[in-house]
Amino acid sequence: MDGPRKDCGGSVLHMNTTPLTHLHEQLGARMTDFAGTSMPLQYAAGIGEEHLVVRERAGLFDVSHMAEFRIAGSGALPYLRYALLNDAAKLKVGRAHYSMLPNEQGGLVDDVYLYHLADEDWLLVANAANRATADVRLQEIAEGFEDVTVRDVSDDWALLALQGPAAATLLDRLVAADLTQMRKNDTKATTLRDYAVRLARTGYTGEDGFEIFTRPGDAVAVWSILQDEGAEPCGLGARDTLRLEAGFPLYGHELGPDTDPRCTPFSWVVKDKPFAGQASWPQLRCKQRLVPLRLSGRGIAREGYQVHNTKDAVVGVVTSGTLSPLTREAIAFAWVEAAYAEPGNALRVLIRGNPVDAIVVDLPFFQPDARVS
Amino acid sequence: MEIPETLRYARTHEWISELEAELFTVGITDFAQEQLGDVVYVELPAVGDKVRAGDAVAVVESVKTASDIYAPVSGTIEAVNDALESAPEGINEEPYEHGWLFRIKPDDPAERDALLDADAYRAVCDEES
């Protein structure tokens, strides 16, 4: 068999850690190098089991590797309206939304989540891999604005994600806030037992759940309280199968420095207002579209695999793919020539030399309410 | 992690046992199935295929990745474990028992001596962990 990918091996000294790294190792996690940080890929249960924990109960993720930026000042709102594609003017205090950070080359620096903490006070969460490039881009745009400060505060926060149908009941027992009053995308500061935390009813799994911002020094305690209360540790492997099944993109796969999000299922993020880099965006004409695929033949579509039409001509490429542990279906995202992008279109994915039948579908890949529990 | 003393091993994480004189059974090791994660598909060679040592003759696919399985000796494929088609998880559950992949009649049974014993294979796993 091909040898296993070398994980930390001897290079662990060069990787960053989160406040929870040692705890993950004690819990028996298989660690991996993710964007330069040692992160848990899976625990003893394995990726498939952890995926089902989130769909059926409450899974607990360490996502402290992600980057956070604090944006403050009376100029913060016009700045954010210009720097990001979604419209920050629509985001009231105590609310959060998904957004994207465009570049000057007609594509994206990152996809992000923006939280409106208080008047003139915002938090932006970006992907760990893009911390440096996002910082550069945010700062260069800020130079054109008055009365706004943008600070990288990633080291001031640890971030956990509690996700699953049992998450709210579990967390409600532990926090001062009344979670029945928190809607999806609400954010508020509260306490979890004795610890100050910020909650957001947000997540990357397609389930109900909460992201929990804590002080780094409190992260181990907060994790332990959640785990003692019944939350089950889940790693980045399950996080990827969950987000794909939920139909969410991952920067570096579905989105990149050349991606026009208007040619993807996430075009709703792009609001009709001026934004930094807009001059570099061409007249809208999508020669290719990002589409969800479901495979009907045997095999798993993986990143980089060719997509063919029924006449065996290459018409696209897979950006992400997996076998859903929940539905047991092979699902994927792929860029395909616009002519083939309609839902219902029959395509083929070339899997190790064999064309496997696939069909373009609409999101979502699965229906939460239709699941057999 | 299980490494039975009675088996021989390849560096590429296949195990080999002598079912009878001149018929070897081949599978992947406990270390290999753990690295792979949950196996979802197996592609096996055809009975009658003539293979050379080092040829990629099978594929074991998990959610994470697909891995080639290499013939440890040259010979002819005598049998394959069809049960894995509908129950590929057998490879994870019992990699050394009902998770076997194929049986090969070696052209030269002495090629078996070039394979690793349990101690040598354990050293390979320690290197890669």
* Domains along chain A with CATH numbers: 9-59+157-245 (3.30.1360.120), 67-155 (3.30.70.1400), 286-366 (2.40.30.110)
- Across B1-11, b (16+ Cβ under 10 Å) vs e yields eebeeebbbbb
Residue A282's CB is within 10 A of a number of other CB atoms, namely 8
Highest mean pLDDT among A7-21, A72-86, B81-95: A72-86
**Of A163, A183, A156, which Cα lies nearest the Cα of A226?**
A163
Residue of B nearest to A47 (CA): B37
Residue of A nearest to B33 (CA): A1
Q: Is A8 on the interface with B (CB under 8 A)?
A: no
Tokens 């064309």, residue located: A355
Contact B69 A1 (CB under 8 A): yes
Strands A346-351 and A96-102: unpaired
**Given phi > 0 = left and psi -120 to 50 = alpha, else beta, which region is B40?**
alpha
Cα-atom radius of gyration of chain B, to the nearest Å?
13
CB A75 within 8 A of CB A149: no
Q: What's the first-to-final CA gap in chain B, in angstroms?
A: 12
Average pLDDT, chain A: 94
pTM: 0.89
pLDDT-based confidence at residue A152 (cuts at 50, 70, 90): very high
pLDDT-based confidence at residue A6 (cuts at 50, 70, 90): very low
Q: Which residues contact A334 (CB under 8 A, 6 or more apart)?
A: A290, A291, A293, A301, A307, A316, A317, A318, A319, A349
Span A322-346, average pLDDT:
95
Contact A352 B59 (CB under 8 A): yes
Contact A300 B32 (CB under 8 A): no
Share in percent of chain B as helix, strand, coil (round to 5): 25, 35, 40
Q: At CA B104, angle to CA B100 and CA B108, rounded to 5?
A: 140
CB B73 within 8 A of CB B53: yes
What is the token pair recorded at B47?
Answer: 């009975």
Contact A6 B128 (CB under 8 A): yes
Model confidence pLDDT, tens digit, residues A210-252: 999 999 999 999 999 999 999 999 999 999 999 999 999 999 9
Q: Domain limits of chain B?
A: 8-107
User: What is the Cα–Cα distance from B32 to A301, expressed in whole angstroms?
Assistant: 22
ipTM for the predicted complex comes to 0.75
- Shortest Cα distance from A365 to chain B (angstroms)? 17
Contact B38 A352 (CB under 8 A): no
User: Which residue among A1, A237, A300 sits closest to B28, beta carbon to beta carbon?
Assistant: A1
Q: Which residues contact A315 (CB under 8 A, 6 or more apart)?
A: A307, A308, A309, A336, A337, A339, A340, A347
Distances (CA, A) of A345 to A228, A246, A294, A316, A341: 48, 21, 11, 13, 7
Burial class (CB in 10 A: 0-12, 13-18, 19+), B56: middle
Q: Which of A134-143, A360-369, B115-124 has the lowest mean pLDDT?
A: A360-369
For the cut 70, the answer to whether the pLDDT of residue A153 exceeds it is: yes
Question: Using beta carbons and an 8 Å cutoff, which residues of B are at the interface with A?
Answer: 12-14, 28, 32, 35-38, 40-41, 59-61, 63-64, 66-70, 128
User: What is the Cα–Cα distance from A234 to A237, expressed in whole angstroms?
Assistant: 8
CB B8 within 8 A of CB B116: yes
Q: Which residues contact A263 (CB under 8 A, 6 or more apart)?
A: A286, A288, A289, A290, A338
**Of A102, A103, A104, which Cα lies nearest the Cα of A85?**
A102
Q: Which residues contact A272 (CB under 8 A, 6 or more apart)?
A: none
User: What is the Cα–Cα distance from A238 to A231, expressed in whole angstroms?
Assistant: 15
User: What is the Cα–Cα distance from A120 to A124, expressed in whole angstroms?
Assistant: 13
Residue of B nearest to A7 (CA): B129
Collapse the DSSP code of A93 into the 3-class scheme (helix H, G, I; strand E, B; otherwise coil) and give the result: coil
CB A325 within 8 A of CB B63: yes
Share in percent of chain A as helix, strand, coil (round to 5): 25, 35, 40
pLDDT-based confidence at residue A325 (cuts at 50, 70, 90): confident
Q: Which residues of A touch B12 (CB under 8 A)?
A: 1-3
Q: Which residues of A touch B69 (CB under 8 A)?
A: 1
Model confidence pLDDT, tens digit, residues B85-128: 889 999 999 999 999 999 999 999 888 889 999 999 999 999 88
Determine whether domain B8-107 maps to CATH 3.40.50.720: no
Q: Which residues of B touch A322 (CB under 8 A)?
A: 63
User: What is the Cα–Cα distance from A213 to A29, expressed in whole angstroms?
Assistant: 22
Residue A168's CB is within 10 A of a number of other CB atoms, namely 17
**Of A341, A342, A346, A344, which Cα lies nearest the Cα of A357?**
A346
According to the model, what pLDDT value does residue A291 have? 98
- Give the H/E segment covering residue A39: strand A37-42
Q: Which residues of A touch B13 (CB under 8 A)?
A: 1, 3
Model confidence pLDDT, tens digit, residues B10-59: 999 999 998 777 899 999 999 999 889 889 899 999 999 999 999 999 99
Collapse the DSSP code of A306 into the 3-class scheme (helix H, G, I; strand E, B; otherwise coil) and give the result: strand
Percentage of chain A beyond pLDDT 70 is 95
User: What is the Cα–Cα distance from A111 to B53, expressed in whole angstroms?
Assistant: 48
According to the model, what pLDDT value does residue A298 have? 84
Strands A232-233 and A59-62: parallel
Q: ω before A325 within 30° of 0 (cis)?
A: no
Tokens 């579209």, residue located: A289
According to the model, what pLDDT value does residue A373 have? 39
Q: Is A21 on the interface with B (CB under 8 A)?
A: no
pLDDT-based confidence at residue A1 (cuts at 50, 70, 90): confident
- Give the H/E segment covering residue A21: helix A21-26
Q: What are phi and psi of A258, to 5 degrees?
A: -110, 5
Distances (CA, A) of B13 to A45, A47, B46, B101: 23, 22, 21, 13
- Shortest Cα distance from A229 to chain B (angstroms)? 28
Residue of B nearest to A322 (CA): B63
CB B42 within 8 A of CB B86: no
Residue window 219-278, chain A: list those with CB within 8 Å of chain B. 237, 241
Contact A46 B37 (CB under 8 A): yes
Q: Is A321 on the interface with B (CB under 8 A)?
A: no
